[in-house]
Structure 1
Amino acid sequence: MTRPGRDDDPDRLYTVTGGRSRSDTETFDLVTLVVSECDPVPGMQSEHVAILRICRYPTAVVEVASDLGLPVSIVRILLGDLLAAGRITARHPRTTASADQLPDPEILKQVLVGLRNL
């Protein structure tokens, strides 16, 4: 069984990111919500077009990666490009959480196990 993104041709991933292996920004973690601020324009890279369409409504980075079938590290690079161009906005769903507002660690463990089983 092949796994999307993990079994992709390395040359393709190199081309998609313009040879970059890391994002220029630390803005995006797995649960950062991304929203398109514009529609795609002719001549845009196909992955950028797909991201803008996926993110018409707030969408987590991990969901974008899943929908594209690309590794999160590659998607972070692409999102960084779009953020720098002002084509998306990003925000963390919980930026002012205190310790008493955080989810139960046991629930987080169960979510992690569920994600790994996907």
Structure 2
Amino acid sequence: MGAEQEPWLDEAAGRLVRPYTVSNGRTEPSTRMELLSMVIATGRQPHGHLEPDHAQALGLCRSPTTVAEVAARLRLPAVVTKILLSDLVDAGAVHTRSPGKPDDPTTTSVLETILDALQRRL
């Protein structure tokens, strides 16, 4: 999605909605997660109406992704992204999985995937 399709984003000015507004003034997520926690949509629709940022975060979680990647794509601080994602966890719309131990091979593969994605963007 480009800025022309997002009324709350202006190319020159950035986000037009303050992060504390996105999180409804909350500063702590209800679900503990780390930047490298993996997040994936469950396929279940959350109850009620989704705010635009919740809907966009849910869309980014169609395939496994990290909290850090969601934050970067939403252009939001990590703590605000964690609050959005924890709302989606509470609604049953996404699952999270904490990263493994440092010697866990999946942790290395996640870091390599993130590094590859960052290098492609530079």
TM-score normalised by length of structure 1: 0.67
User: Number of paired residues?
Assistant: 99
* Equivalent residue in structure 2 for 1:34, among 30, 39, 44: 39
- Other-structure match for 2:68: 62
TM-score normalised by length of structure 2: 0.65
Higher alpha-carbon Rg: 1
Q: Which runs of 5+ in 2 are unaligned?
A: 1-13
Q: Go from structure 1 to structure 2 and tell me whether the alpha carbon gap of 1:98 and 1:44 turns closer, same or farther (over 3 Å shift).
A: closer
Are the aligned partners of 2:39 and 2:94 in contact in 1 as well (CA < 8 Å)?
yes
Q: Go from structure 1 to structure 2 and tell me whether the alpha carbon gap of 1:35 and 1:15 turns closer, same or farther (over 3 Å shift).
A: same
Per-residue deviation, residues 55-96 of structure 1 (Å, max 9, x unmatched): 1000000000000000001000111111011110011242xx
Q: Aligned with 1:38: secondary structure?
A: coil
Instruction: List aligned pairs for 1:41-80, cutoff 5 A.
Output: 43-80=49-86
Q: Which runs of 5+ in 1 are unaligned?
A: 1-6
Are the aligned partners of 1:65 and 1:71 in contact in 2 as well (CA < 8 Å)?
yes
Identity of aligned residues (%): 34
Q: Distance in 2 between matches of 1:40 and 1:100?
A: 32
